Amino acid sequence: MDFELSDEQRMIQRTLREFTDEVIVPQARENDRQERFPRETIQQLGQQGWTGAPVPPEYGGMGLDFISEAILFEEIGRGDSSIRTTLSVQISLVELTILRWGNEEQKRTYLPRLARAEIIGCFGLTEPGAGSDPAGLRTFARRANDRWVLNGSKTWISNGGIADLAIIFAQTDPAQKHREMAAFLVERGMPGYSTQDIKGKLGLRASNTAELILENVEVPKENLLSKVGDGFAIAMSALDNGRYGVAAGCVGIGQACIEASLKYAKERHQFGRPIASFQLVQEMIADMIVETEAARLLVYRAGHVKNLGKKSTLETTIAKLYASEAALRAADRAIQIHGGYGYSDEYPVERYWRDARVATIYEGTSQIQKLIIGRESTGIDAFA
């Protein structure tokens, strides 16, 4: 693996850093305070092609590699994890899932519009009684002539309340559990499909989160993704992609914590000198830098494996586990360095902590990540 970014990747990094600093950062605090979804910013990113970064050009995307995708999520995540979450769902969970599992008609129908953010997508897997255990879904799909009829609900769905397209997972034979699970492409406007926004979240407050409600939703048979029985495999492959995006975004949080702490520690004076001169402050900054660099390398290693077209479950899971926990520790240290100011939203570090906290929960808790690493390493499934 070459540790040097290519000229194209450095240009991508510079372009995204400038956009983040000029457009995203100035609005982040108010969007967080108001729980306001920044639709205009998402549309700008779509017009520039970033919402279709890894999608091949024949389907309307930029055709970028996975290291470039990580750079995208890191730089956007450095400014606002809410926007990064929207992009991660759009790209990792929806676009790449359709790209891998969709037929040609589905790809040409949905991918170009998703890649340009003309439509927003969401990923409907989690249910009130099925979070870490996706095989326990209670959403049910039954065949009715040339259609499928879906009944059930999903919760904690990022982008759910504003999505035009949802990938919905359902059981077709509850007795068979995950062996007969299926995935469906459900469009907003289909009769019986509705959403309810979830408010009052600790973090990611500018990211839309919603409950999805399906009451006798009739879905054309053409909207079945792949085939019945592939649903569980589709969900697991999508989560591999999603965890990669979360990990890269957490590197962005860590980097933001470092930059904010360095600036504040040089400006803030106590005992007649900048607090950056204090040994224990330097220790906290050093720990943040080391752990963020380690997280970045783990993300890049996972991206390298993905670029080779190999299975990346182990590498992606390690990166997600470490990067999310490291980001939370970095944000905690950043608040400590900022002292009382770090406890208010006058400075962004308290938002970094709130946004980092959920990264250890969604798309697989840290505990689930450890069990996946254990299974991949020992060959023994602790879930069985």
Catalytic residues: 363
Determine the 3-state secondary structure of 298 from DSSP.
Answer: helix
Residue with tokens 């570090």: 349
Residue with tokens 């902590």: 353
What is the chain's Cα-based Rg? 21
Residue with tokens 């040097």: 4
Look at the alpha carbons of 224, 226, 230, 236 in this order and tell me if their dihedral is positive or negative. Answer: negative
List, in order, residues 6 or more apart from 338 with CB less than 8 Å away: 260, 261, 264, 347, 349
Backbone angles phi, psi at 167, to 5 degrees: -90, 115
Given a contact cutoff of 8 angstroms between Cβ atoms, the answer to whether 258 and 286 are in contact is no
- The bridge status of strand 121-124 relative to strand 165-171 is parallel
- How far apart CA 282 and CA 24 sit, in angstroms, is 29
- Cβ atoms < 10 Å from Cβ of 226: 17
- The bridge status of strand 121-124 relative to strand 193-197 is unpaired
Exposure string of 140-170, with b = 16+ CB inside 10 Å and e = fewer, is: ebeeeeeebbbbbbbbbbbbbbbbbbbbbbb
| Furthest CA-CA distance within the chain | 80
Token pair listed for 256? 């933001």
Token pair listed for 19? 């956009």
Given a contact cutoff of 8 angstroms between Cβ atoms, the answer to whether 106 and 224 are in contact is no
- How far apart CA 170 and CA 150 sit, in angstroms, is 8
